[in-house]
């Protein structure tokens, strides 16, 4: 941690900061420059991360040197983490595709979609049981009924299933039925929920919040990991910017940035990222080319009648064509899709 003092700082100012740092068990290193005095704190920087040093009179700014996350960082663990869901692996050279409807609307529709995306090459089935909708008057999901359908369809198709958890009180229920728990973008900083999923032994897909920096995203993963559950799959799904042509701006540079900073696998959700079915194809190709470990794509057999997010869902026939195209892109960057 580097503490920069204000111009013209007095010896008293310097002493005040030094004493404080030393009282926290850190060694202090003072460097008087021409224009500024700088104080370096040597030792366990984590002690300082949440100390309000800016409030000490005479301090101009405080600059951390180390990263605030630990367990999820590549410094902590250098080799890539591979997460297994049944015999599907996230984080090795393969690219996994998760597909399915935004929300589970019925057993038959779910089975039909599952059957079809499986044939096209999807490795997991997604389907919402609890839906976080902007409006209280929108369809909120079928709840446990949907979870049961997911489990039944898994039995029939062999596809592991993913569904979103919104409330800590539903954790036990959801764990009974699904293979992977999804934490949605709006709950990325629902810290209580993060702590809870950190205590179960199930893989978690953690979506990036709409206004979360990459550091905050990794800090939320750290919340989960800090409780013991290290089976975390990160998911970039678009951030909020001024552009209105797309629902969000898919930040594909987050993929290689996170690959540098963390050992966790990262997938991309182009459906929410752009919010328009006609852009899923190019954005999926770009996500594969940029190095994503997987994709999460909304597929619906009747998008114009979907109870949720129909305008960003692909029809099964388009999905099939897309996966075929993606295989070629994956191969061009040295990876493979089942």
| DSSP calls for 195-264 | HHHTTSSS-EEEEPPTT--HHHHHHHHHHHHHTT---EEEEE--B--S--SSSSB--TTHHHHHHHHBSS
Give the nearest distance from C-beta 161 to a second copy in angstroms.
21
Instruction: Confirm or reject binding of residue 75 to a second copy (CB under 8 A).
Output: yes
Among 86, 305, 317, 336, binds a second copy (CB under 8 A): 305
Instruction: Confirm or reject binding of residue 278 to a second copy (CB under 8 A).
Output: yes
Torsion of CA 233, 238, 239, 240, to 10 degrees: -150
Spell out a b/e string for 147-159, using b for 16 or more CB atoms within 10 Å of the CB, else e. bbbbeebbeebeb
Helix (H, G, I), strand (E, B) or coil at 113: helix
Cβ(127)–Cβ(146) below 8 Å: yes
Contacts of a second copy in 100-129 (CB under 8 A):
none
Give the nearest distance from C-beta 162 to a second copy in angstroms.
19
Give the nearest distance from C-beta 219 to a second copy in angstroms.
5
Q: How far is CA 91 from CA 45, 94, 134, 232, 236, in A?
A: 31, 7, 33, 11, 15
Instruction: Confirm or reject binding of residue 80 to a second copy (CB under 8 A).
Output: no
Give the nearest distance from C-beta 49 to a second copy in angstroms.
7
For a second copy, which is the closer residue by CB, 44 or 84?
44
Burial class for 161, CB neighbours closer than 10 Å (0-12, 13-18, 19+): buried
Tell me the C-alpha distance between 278 and 297, whole Å.
13
Contacts of a second copy in 174-203 (CB under 8 A):
186-187, 189-192, 194-195
Helix (H, G, I), strand (E, B) or coil at 72: coil
Instruction: Confirm or reject binding of residue 332 to a second copy (CB under 8 A).
Output: yes
Q: Site mask, a second copy, residues 42-61, x = CB under 8 A?
A: xxxxx--xxxxxxxx-----
Give the nearest distance from C-beta 21 to a second copy in angstroms.
12
Give the nearest distance from C-beta 93 to a second copy in angstroms.
15
- Please list, in sequence order, all residues whose beta carbon lies within 8 angstroms of the beta carbon of residue 282, skipping any fewer than 6 positions away: none
Give the nearest distance from C-beta 17 to a second copy in angstroms.
10
Among 19, 86, 158, 211, binds a second copy (CB under 8 A): 211
Backbone angles phi, psi at 233, to 5 degrees: -110, 120
Tell me the C-alpha distance between 209 and 318, whole Å.
28
Tell me the C-alpha distance between 176 and 138, whole Å.
26
Among 89, 216, 318, 321, binds a second copy (CB under 8 A): 216
For a second copy, which is the closer residue by CB, 52 or 155?
52
Instruction: Confirm or reject binding of residue 328 to a second copy (CB under 8 A).
Output: yes
Contacts of a second copy in 9-38 (CB under 8 A):
20, 29, 31, 33-36, 38
Among 86, 199, 282, 338, binds a second copy (CB under 8 A): 282
The piece of 87-95, 109-117, 143-151, 306-314 that touches a second copy (CB under 8 A) is: 306-314
CA Rg, the chain, in Å? 23
Instruction: Please tell me the number of Cα atoms within 13 Å of 314 on its side-chain side.
Output: 29
Cβ(120)–Cβ(320) below 8 Å: yes
Among 18, 94, 115, 246, binds a second copy (CB under 8 A): 246
Tell me the C-alpha distance between 310 and 293, whole Å.
25
Contacts of a second copy in 132-151 (CB under 8 A):
132-139
Instruction: Confirm or reject binding of residue 243 to a second copy (CB under 8 A).
Output: yes
Give the nearest distance from C-beta 85 to a second copy in angstroms.
25
Give the nearest distance from C-beta 281 to a second copy in angstroms.
8
Tell me the C-alpha distance between 123 and 36, whole Å.
57
The piece of 84-92, 114-122, 146-154, 276-284 that touches a second copy (CB under 8 A) is: 276-284
For a second copy, which is the closer residue by CB, 41 or 110?
41
């Amino acid at each position: 941690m580097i503490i920069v003092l204000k111009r013209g700082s007095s010896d008293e100012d310097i002493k005040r900061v030094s004493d404080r740092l030393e009282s926290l068990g850190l060694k202090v290193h003072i460097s008087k420059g021409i224009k500024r005095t700088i104080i370096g704190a040597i030792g366990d920087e984590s002690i300082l991360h949440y100390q309000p040093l800016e409030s000490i009179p005479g301090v101009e700014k405080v600059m951390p040197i180390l990263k605030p996350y630990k367990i999820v960082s590549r410094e902590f663990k250098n080799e890539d983490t591979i997460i297994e869901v049944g015999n599907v692996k996230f984080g090795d050279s393969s690219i996994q595709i998760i597909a399915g409807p935004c929300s589970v609307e019925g057993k038959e529709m779910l089975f039909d979609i599952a059957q079809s995306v499986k044939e096209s090459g999807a490795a997991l089935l997604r389907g919402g049981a609890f839906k976080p909708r902007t409006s209280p008057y929108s369809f909120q999901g079928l709840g446990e009924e949907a979870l049961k359908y997911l489990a039944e369809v898994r039995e029939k198709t062999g596809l592991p299933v993913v569904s979103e958890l919104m409330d800590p009180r539903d954790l036990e229920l959801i764990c009974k039925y699904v293979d992977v728990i999804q934490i949605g973008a709006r709950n990325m900083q629902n810290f209580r929920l993060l702590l809870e999923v950190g205590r179960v032994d199930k893989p978690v897909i953690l979506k990036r919040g709409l206004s979360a920096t990459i550091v905050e995203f990794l800090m939320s993963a750290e919340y989960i990991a800090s409780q013991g559950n290290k089976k975390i799959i990160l998911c970039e799904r678009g951030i909020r910017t001024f552009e209105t042509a797309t629902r969000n701006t898919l930040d594909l540079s987050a993929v290689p940035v996170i690959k540098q900073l963390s050992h966790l696998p990262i997938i991309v959700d182009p459906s929410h990222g752009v919010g328009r079915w006609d852009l899923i194809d190019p954005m999926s190709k770009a996500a594969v080319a940029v190095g994503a470990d997987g994709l999460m794509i909304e597929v619906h057999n009747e998008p114009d009648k979907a109870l949720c997010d129909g305008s960003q869902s692909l029809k099964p026939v388009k999905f099939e064509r897309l996966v075929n195209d993606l295989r070629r892109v994956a191969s061009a960057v040295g990876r493979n899709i089942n």
